[in-house]
Structure 1
Amino acid sequence: MMKFYKTILFTITFILFYQISKAQDSLMLRKIYDESLVNGQCYENLRYLCKQIGPRLSGSANAQKSVDWGKKLMDSYGFDKVFLQECMVPHWVRGQKEIGKIINGKTEINVNICALGMSPGTPVNGIKAKIIEVRSLAELANVGESQIKGKIVFFNRPFDQKFIETGRAYGAAGDQRFAGPAEAAKYGAVGVIVRSLSSTLDDYPHTGTTVFPDGAKKIPAAAISTKAANQLSNLLKLKKLPQIEFYFKQNCQLLPDVKSYNVVGEITGSEKPDEFITVGGHLDSWDLAEGAHDDGTGVVQGLEVLRIYKSLGLKPKHSIRAVMFMNEENGGRGGDKYAELAAVKKENHIAAIESDGGGFTPRGFTFQDVSKEGMIKINSDWKELFVPYFSERLTNGGSGSDIEPLSVFKNAVLIGFKADSQRYFDIHHTPNDVFENVNKRELELGAASMASLVYLIDNYGISH
């Protein structure tokens, strides 16, 4: 009987302790959100990054200015450690604005294009050739060299609008941009035009990297706006017309690699200083705009996590780092370098959170390679705490390309911050990615969500 009473007493004590702990956590999350929404600095930090520095393609003068800005700002916040991590990055330059034309006999139709990152330029006088439309790499292979050689390949697979999560549509359509030009070159194509990776129909071409493996033949490749892609496709379907030709001229070139840096700020852990929680985004951006959503928002949100800790006087148990990664857009060398140096120093990374989906309304987080049992526990422990802030979607999924190299640490849980994705690919990699298209409150809510998850991981740990 005494054993029974002890069991009942233990159960009651556990329930009371659990409820008290939940109440304390709920109060702390409220403080975090209040600090971000009332005293937040991420919006003004983003304004400076976008308006005073602007586009920050790796290897550019502006990229170096952003490194200097990031370090100076972290120093001003009084973090325990602020340092740079050197890495060599590609230096690709776009040159003068591109020219694109659909040629239908004597009729020329000007269309909006932009060179894909890492593409070579065209000859000085441009390229004019007959054009062949395909929807996939498989169709390209089926068409074969006999029909492709000497022509410009037009990849025209649109976003699948059935996907609710637009990132899935981006992933499904993305191979035509990433790998299409290199594949087309194998069949003798002289150039490639790729439909912009976007869910919207507009006249803004979307840039982005294309990849030519070592030893692969490189041919000029450009993105065409979705409106122009439809126009070109419709003309190609009109059999009564002579075969349509396409002309484009671009002046890009790849220069020797340049020295650059990741920028790292740290609040050192009070109990486990050798165990790290990393949070951040990438500092570099494409050159067509200010890189506001991609990924200025992620950079300033990561920085804001540490600022919130400092402002609230929180003393983390583990060391927390905000990292401004360099060269996500056309190389990923900053993320590789961060993981490489962590391995050399034998650092124990337990978690990393990346924000690289825009500064829109937060929806939750995705946890990479976490078991079914692990996700059940994460949701059981933390979902309720995020419900008042509409950030309670805690699911399996990808994390982010800059933190992916940390997967070499078996204990590291890699996490992606998920913002509402419906508008992201309207703006992504276009001239529209400017500060004015970021909402202050949405940005601050995202920073608070990230700081809250860091707080929970720091206090309770997390496992696969």
Structure 2
Amino acid sequence: MRLFLCRGLLLAGFGLLTFAAQAQTAAPTKTDSINIRRLYDEALLRGQSYDNLRHLTGRIGARLSGSPQAQQAVDWGKLTMEKLGLDRVYLQEVMVPHWVRGAKEKGEIKPAKGKGIELNVCALGGSVGTGGKLRAGVVEVKTWAELAALPAEKVKGKFVFFNRPMNPTYVETGRAYGEAGDQRRNGAIEAAKRGAVGALVRSLTLAHDDFPHTGTMRYDEQVAKLPAAALSTNGADQLSQLLKADPGLTFELEMSCETLPEVKSYNVVGEITGSKYPAEIITVGGHLDSWDLGQGAHDDGTGCVQSMEVLRLLKATGLRPERTVRAVLFMNEENGVRGGEKYAALAKATGEKHLAAMESDGGGFTPRGFSIEAPAAVVQHMQQWQPLFVPYFSGAFEAGHAGTDIGPLKDQAKALIGYRCDSQRYFDLHHTAADTFDKVNRRELELGGASMASLIYLLSKYGL
């Protein structure tokens, strides 16, 4: 019995040692540091993200879902990944909305006396048109409670002007955007419930300029569909000031936007098969579609070219991943998330095993780190790798929202990861005509691709 006991203790001790060794295998090594340095060197010396972005934005331009330019972007993405010599490149078919802006919108303040004042406006994505010129009085609100408290006669037959600014005291600008975004998304619905004729919304930016910001909005089939337009922040401030002096002024809006029948489009997918665990998939992606006002450079051309660059960097450095790494250029993030939903549905239907998914959709600015949407134990597991990223100033590994397109994978992947870069300038450009190639810095963009590739390398090597 003593012999069996000793043997049992020895086996138990061996098991504990084995478990301890396995638990420590995710700790970074000198080899990892060297390999990450190789990825950064390759990106900074021979990176292709910037030149790919130049082509996408300059030769193709804005890529609203359903447009000819969106299809051109699909063709370009497929060809570009095929040139990388990946193990597999293919398309995933998806039906997408097809909304068109039409002629340039017009907005004008009509004072009771004096000359009209033109404002820069743009239709919110998905809005109906005005059917000619629509002129009405204006009532300004900053909160839903203010709107609810107004007597019916103060709202009926007027434009509701939603003028709540983003909170400038938040250092994390995405938080300010999220809090103010409800008025853009739901403004037309709430205005319709009160008998208004249209919705005017302050642009979602902390900048004070003349660029109106578009973005998706919603309708409720239970109430009328009202035209909804964004005013630039300067225009919103001007309208607010004039309303105080002249509450009886009117506003004239003209928009010819409309929604056409859905169109067949595609996600573009390229992958490197894992050398040891090919059935375990790590996805990295950005969205190929963009709004139609600028070139869709930071939103989200940068995310697409960085995702493709992850695969190129792994191949160029000879660091073949142990798990399958798949780059996805998602279609229709801006006004439907159809591509993200289709990708997740296909993965579930075919029984694919997703270890993790990473998304880059915050611009191509200086990398800061990653936000991780996963159980606390998984977040802690990944935080072991922070020291490897500190020399590159991208060592922030924090729990938080990962991304819209990979969100549908939440129940399939062990971790969803958002690439995070400096956010202070992003919402100055987001959804505007100013989102153009010249606003992207080559070095910042290539550093971001290297940061993403480095984390993908570690995920592939150690798993979760």
Provide the aligned length of Structure 1 versus Structure 2.
448
Structure 1 gaps of 5+ residues are none
Say which of 414, 417, 433 aligns to 1:412. Answer: 414
CA distance in 2, matches of 1:48, 1:312: 24
Q: Which amino acid aligns with 2:456?
A: V
Displacement, 1:273?
Answer: 1.2
Name the counterpart of 1:226. Answer: 233
CA distance in 2, matches of 1:291, 1:144: 42
Matched, 1:377 2:385: no
Superposed CA deviations along residues 414-439 of structure 1, whole A, max 9, x for unmatched, are 01100100000000011110000000
Say which of 37, 40, 44 aligns to 2:47. Answer: 40
Name the counterpart of 1:396. Answer: 399
CA distance in 1, matches of 2:240, 2:28: 61
Name the counterpart of 1:134. Answer: 141
Name the counterpart of 1:257. Answer: 262
Name the counterpart of 2:338. Answer: 333
Structure 1 segment 298-317 matched on structure 2, within 5 A: 298-317=303-322
Change (3 A) 1:242 1:149: closer
CA distance in 2, matches of 1:20, 1:279: 23
Partner of 2:217, secondary structure, is: coil
Matched, 1:358 2:363: yes
TM-score (norm 1): 0.93
Change (3 A) 1:21 1:206: closer
> Could you tell me whether the CA contact under 8 Å between 1:49 and 1:66 is conserved in 2?
yes
Structure 1 segment 67-78 matched on structure 2, within 5 A: 67-78=74-85
CA distance in 2, matches of 1:20, 1:141: 55
Q: Which amino acid aligns with 2:380?
A: I
Partner of 2:116, secondary structure, is: strand
> Could you tell me whether the CA contact under 8 Å between 2:378 and 2:415 is conserved in 1?
no
Say which of 60, 69, 76 aligns to 1:53. Answer: 60
> Could you tell me whether the CA contact under 8 Å between 1:137 and 1:180 is conserved in 2?
no
CA distance in 2, matches of 1:266, 1:305: 10
Q: Which amino acid aligns with 2:50?
A: Y
Displacement, 1:447?
Answer: 0.3
Change (3 A) 1:306 1:122: same
CA distance in 2, matches of 1:433, 1:282: 15
> Could you tell me whether the CA contact under 8 Å between 2:26 and 2:462 is conserved in 1?
no
Say which of 125, 128, 147 aligns to 1:117. Answer: 125
Superposed CA deviations along residues 50-105 of structure 1, whole A, max 9, x for unmatched, are 00000000000000000000001111111101000000000000000000011111
Superposed CA deviations along residues 296-316 of structure 1, whole A, max 9, x for unmatched, are 000000000001111112221
Structure 2 gaps of 5+ residues are 1-9
CA distance in 1, matches of 2:200, 2:28: 57
Name the counterpart of 2:163. Answer: 156
CA distance in 2, matches of 1:242, 1:197: 25
- Identical residues among aligned pairs (%): 56
CA distance in 2, matches of 1:85, 1:151: 45
CA distance in 2, matches of 1:114, 1:402: 25
Name the counterpart of 2:176. Answer: 169
Superposed CA deviations along residues 242-261 of structure 1, whole A, max 9, x for unmatched, are 51211110110000000000
Change (3 A) 1:460 1:210: same
Displacement, 1:378?
Answer: 2.2
Displacement, 1:140?
Answer: 1.7
Superposed CA deviations along residues 372-427 of structure 1, whole A, max 9, x for unmatched, are x4333322x11100000000000011011000000121x43001100100000000
Displacement, 1:19?
Answer: 11
Displacement, 1:18?
Answer: 7.3
Root-mean-square deviation (CA, aligned residues, Å) is 1.9
Name the counterpart of 2:7. Answer: none
Superposed CA deviations along residues 340-359 of structure 1, whole A, max 9, x for unmatched, are 10011110111000000000
Partner of 1:408, secondary structure, is: coil
Name the counterpart of 1:24. Answer: 31
